[in-house]
Amino acid sequence: MVIGVGIVLIVLGLILVTGAVDLPTSWENHIASDTLGWILFAVGVLAILLGLVVNHQRSRVTSTHVEERRGYGEPRRETRYDDEGRI
């Protein structure tokens, strides 16, 4: 999903940089479309790179299975007490 958002941001950034679509005049006084386009482009590239890194880390994670076995090793020693509570 992050990769898709990155692609959308890159496309929007390139549209603003090339001037294919102009911002409304009221926005143009406050926002430079070229600068906004380059910012969107850079954020899109960064989103794609981060998405790829996260996917790579997620695919490397392996699960560990722990199995407990009883009855192996040294046998347990029982402590025996006499009627008075002495060993």
CB atoms within 10 A of CB 78: 5
Domain ranges of the chain: 2-57
The single-letter DSSP state of residue 22 is P
The per-residue pLDDT for range 10-50, each reduced to its tens digit, is 999 999 999 888 788 888 788 888 899 999 999 999 999 99
Q: How far is CA 80 from CA 74, 76, 77, 85, 86, in A?
A: 18, 13, 9, 9, 8
Are the CB atoms for 8 and 44 separated by under 8 Å?
Answer: yes
Q: pLDDT tens digits for 51-82?
A: 999 888 877 767 677 777 776 666 666 667 77
